[in-house]
Structure 1
Amino acid sequence: MLDFLTQPAGFDIGETGLLLYDAAQPLWRAMLVGLGNTLRVSLPALLMAVAIGLTVALGRTSRVAGWRVMAGIYVDIIRNTPLLLQLLMWYFLLIEWLPDSTQALAVLPGIWLSKGGLAFPWLAPADDGGAWAWSWPQQDTFNIVGGAAVTPEYLALALALSLYTGAFLAEVIRGGIEAVPASLMEAAETLGATRWQQITRVLLPQALRTIVPAATNQFLNLIKNSSLAVAVGYPDLVSVGNTALNQTGRVTECVLVMMSVYLFMSLLTAAFMNWFNARHAVKGPV
């Protein structure tokens, strides 16, 4: 049934990440590259979504009215517009508003942003084959050379996933924060704890018991929503799978392979979060 996966792929993939690939390699290798690209965008987006969700949730529960208003506007806008439209918006903003590679923006020292994507420092082997060292991107006559880079498609997908999931996580975290009895924060303040200590030592560890189960659903949604990458041409698992089924005509088998991989990733994520939740519930904050 799956013997077609050993046939030569016969197509190239624009982004291969850290995996070596060419069109003469078997289809299973192409699918593996697609899976790697899915993980390469999903994991950083998940971390960014957590950071965004925590920041916005603290803004929603802030004592400063301005922070509450701005956080509320962000949550309302992001949660009430389709993710696909947000993804397309970020993609078109990146490819239309950013300058060409010949006039890239220096975001930070060694970090360049242009229509060609985001270039940043990265470890690379020395020219003489010696020890690895940091390679820093530099502006050349026609392009950015050195370092590593991610494409506008990758950036658009990562931004859309992290901002969209972050808005939902913000409400999950806000609910967990508001479930913590106010008397605990008052007791910490009475003992002389600073606001930062109250949040990190009292509020968040207690809120985590409520946050983790609901946040698991958002993590699963982020992984599954990464399949929208096909809309902007990022070669994730679904994009590579679509090309494979068009090449081979094995529609049912290719779809089953993709569904099985997403199912495995979702079950693995859920199992890890359930383990983390059980460990936290038994042993307390970690």
Structure 2
Amino acid sequence: MTTETILPGPTRPGILRQVRAWWGPHALSQGLFIAALGLLVIVLASNTLATMTRIGITPGFDFLWRSANFEIGEGLIPFRAGDPYFRAILVGLLNTIKVAALGCVFATILGVILGVAGLSGNLLLATLVRWYIEAIRNTPLLLQLFFWIALAKSFPPPRAAISAFDSVFLTNRGVFVPTVNLVEASAWTWWLIIAIVAALVAGLSWLRRGHGLTLSRFGVLFVAGLVAIAIVLLLSDGRFSAELPVLAGFNIRGGASLTPEFAALLTGLTVKFSAAIAEIVRAGIQSVSQGQWEAARTLGLRDGQIMRLIVLPQALRVITPLTTSSYLDLTKDSSLAVAIGYPDLVNVINTTANTTGQSFEALAILIGLYLTLNLTVSAAMNLYNRRVALRGQAR
């Protein structure tokens, strides 16, 4: 008969010890520093409130519900003078999100192309890419924005617009392109289309999780989705209507238009950060050992297949964290839109502060919104980075 002796486990530290470990050494000096910092904040806040009271400004955020007395040139939602200030700020926020999101997408596409092209065996192409990257990276973004807005303003007026196939017009009032609209579609039609798109996304995700996402399978899913959407539109009598821009009088009517300010800002952000992303992609590709290339070639894979199936998935573990920094910088640098007149978040809040006198509150809103935007981008990219890292460990 054997006897087992159960020994007590390690005792958990008490509350005081946990607090002491969290607080760290030199508790007294740290406490005094935090107290002094808090006192400084209180003094600055009281002085600010006293100054606002003296000049007749009531502190608070009640001004957000007052009527704004200015117009906003463009926005994703309608706005006119007389609408409340919070709606104006929302318009500026949506404009910032629009240009930042499109800038991230276009800069990534162009940056990946340039990064891969810079490593090609074509000496002329690689040299041109290197000169492009060096010229763009070593030029201030503000200077580039001035160049692009000057170029956009140098286009001819609408009556002498530069036309491509009589459907795309370049003018000093903006770029006019055709649009496709879905008309005569009921609510259930839209819900069915959303369900089809969600099913396609779920199918692609299922294939990527280990069932083999090949180009042929992607093509089959894509065609099946298009056929399903077409059937839904036929059954619901929904139809597409194309709207072409046409010259009418002294302006161009119809289609969709990109203002010179938006086009210049989007082009400047895309060009500037595509150069940075190209360098990141180049470094990521070069971090993959040459043996991967040689092993893939022995299996009979072509260079394009090696890059797409073997090298780039491994390089993502290097590319993703650095690209996150580029996305954050792009989002923050979109605030330079105020220099060329694009009504972004900074522009609208600057106008709000000047017309209401609530500069402190407007600045607090601006800081909070930019923090929210960048933390959201960072969280999304960190989530994707963890997935890439785990996939790499599984190999």
Give CA-to-partner distance per residue, 1:15-42, whole Å, 9 cap, x none. 122x021111110000000011111211
Give me the whole-angstrom Cα distance separating, in 2, the residues matched to 1:49 and 1:109. 29
Query: What residue is the counterpart of 1:76 in the other structure?
Result: 134
Match of 1:117 among 174, 182, 198: 174
Q: Is the 8 A contact 1:42 1:222 kept in 2?
A: yes
Q: Note the C-alpha offset of 1:125.
A: 6.9
Match of 2:72 among 10, 13, 31: 13
The alignment partner of 2:120 has SS state of: coil
* TM-score, with length taken from structure 1: 0.94
Give me the whole-angstrom Cα distance separating, in 1, the residues matched to 2:355 and 2:374. 28
- Structure 1 residues 110-149: aligned runs within 5 Å: 110-124=167-181, 133-149=241-257
The alignment partner of 1:184 has SS state of: helix
User: Residues 81 and 6 (structure 1 numbering): CA distance in 2 closer, same or farther, change over 3 Å?
Assistant: same
> What amino acid maps onto 1:8 in structure 2?
S
Q: Note the C-alpha offset of 1:106.
A: 2.3
Give CA-to-partner distance per residue, 1:163-195, whole Å, 9 cap, x none. 001111111111101001111111112211122
Q: Does 1:176 align with 2:284?
A: yes
Match of 1:29 among 70, 84, 87: 87
Give me the whole-angstrom Cα distance separating, in 2, the residues matched to 1:197 and 1:101. 46
Larger Rg: 2
Give me the whole-angstrom Cα distance separating, in 2, the residues matched to 1:207 and 1:247. 50
Query: What residue is the counterpart of 1:274 in the other structure?
Result: 382
Query: What residue is the counterpart of 1:2 in the other structure?
Result: 61
Match of 1:251 among 351, 359, 362: 359
Q: Is the 8 A contact 1:119 1:137 kept in 2?
A: yes
Q: Does 1:219 align with 2:327?
A: yes
Q: Note the C-alpha offset of 1:198.
A: 1.2
Q: Does 1:194 align with 2:251?
A: no
> What amino acid maps onto 1:7 in structure 2?
R
Give me the whole-angstrom Cα distance separating, in 2, the residues matched to 1:134 and 1:256. 44
Query: What residue is the counterpart of 2:119 in the other structure?
Result: 61
Give me the whole-angstrom Cα distance separating, in 1, the residues matched to 2:275 and 2:164. 25
Identity of paired residues, percent? 39
Give me the whole-angstrom Cα distance separating, in 2, the residues matched to 1:168 and 1:189. 30
Q: Is the 8 A contact 1:122 1:134 kept in 2?
A: yes
> What amino acid maps onto 2:307 in structure 1?
I
Query: What residue is the counterpart of 1:101 in the other structure?
Result: 158
Give CA-to-partner distance per residue, 1:77-103, whole Å, 9 cap, x none. 00101000000011001102x121112
RMSD: 1.9
Give me the whole-angstrom Cα distance separating, in 1, the residues matched to 2:340 and 2:136. 19
The alignment partner of 2:242 has SS state of: strand
Unpaired segments of 5 or more residues in structure 1?
A: none
Q: Does 1:233 align with 2:292?
A: no
Q: Note the C-alpha offset of 1:10.
A: 1.4
Unpaired segments of 5 or more residues in structure 2?
A: 1-59, 185-237
Q: Is the 8 A contact 1:104 1:139 kept in 2?
A: no
Give me the whole-angstrom Cα distance separating, in 2, the residues matched to 1:211 and 1:94. 33
The alignment partner of 2:257 has SS state of: strand
Give me the whole-angstrom Cα distance separating, in 2, the residues matched to 1:252 and 1:108. 51
Q: Note the C-alpha offset of 1:140.
A: 3.2
Please list every run of at least 4 consecutive aligned residues from structure 1 whose deviation after the TM superposition is greater than 4 angstroms.
Answer: 124-127
* TM-score, with length taken from structure 2: 0.68
Q: Note the C-alpha offset of 1:131.
A: 6.1
Give CA-to-partner distance per residue, 1:31-86, whole Å, 9 cap, x none. 00001111121111111100111111112211111111101100110010100000
Give me the whole-angstrom Cα distance separating, in 2, the residues matched to 1:71 and 1:79. 12
